[in-house]
Amino acid sequence: MARFNSVEPRLHVADFQRSLAFYTQVLGFEVLALFPETNPSFALVARDGVGLQIGGIDGQKDPAAPSTCTLYFDVRDALGVHEELKARVTIEWGPEVYNYHRREFAFHDPDGHLIIISEETDDPVTLVDD
């Protein structure tokens, strides 16, 4: 039977180098490949087996265009990730534990894509989401 093995979102970005630096230097992704070799505009990056594609000819966006993507990362130790990032990004909300048993917080990347960091938890709810 045919099956899907994974999904690797391609992020449309206004400034390839800025976005690559954010995902590698701030979020800790590793560069797996850059294309073309001279003056790259496309990257495959991964962290802990989670892959993303950044840019490319079809992945450019006007800096004024709104983001059309939310990245939802299921992690282990959301509070640890929050501690790593809170001085490097502007936290939009959280971390909170919601009534659906997830601890989550969110921030934006340089292109305005919302990034939600989430983990399953049995900790008490700290914010009821209406």
- Considering the domain architecture, whether residues 70 and 20 belong to the same structural domain is answered as no
C-alpha to C-alpha distance for 111 and 47, rounded to whole angstroms: 20
**Which domain does 55 fall in, by range?**
8-63
C-alpha to C-alpha distance for 24 and 101, rounded to whole angstroms: 30
- Considering the domain architecture, whether residues 92 and 36 belong to the same structural domain is answered as no
- Considering the domain architecture, whether residues 57 and 77 belong to the same structural domain is answered as no
pLDDT at 129 over 80: no
Q: Is residue 3 part of a domain?
A: no
pTM of the complete model: 0.93
Contacts of 83 (CB under 8 A, 6+ apart): none
Number of structural domains (the chain) is 2
Of 36-40, 84-88, 120-124, the poorest mean pLDDT is in 36-40
pLDDT at 130 over 80: no
Q: Is residue 107 part of a domain?
A: yes
CA dist 30 → 23, 41, 44, 100 (Å): 8, 16, 9, 32
Average pLDDT of the chain, as a whole number: 94
41-72 tens-digit pLDDT = 999 999 999 999 999 888 888 888 888 899 99
Single out the residue in 19, 48, 63 at which a domain terminates.
63
14-44 tens-digit pLDDT = 999 999 999 999 999 999 999 998 999 999 9
Average pLDDT over residues 90-112: 97
Q: Is residue 2 part of a domain?
A: no
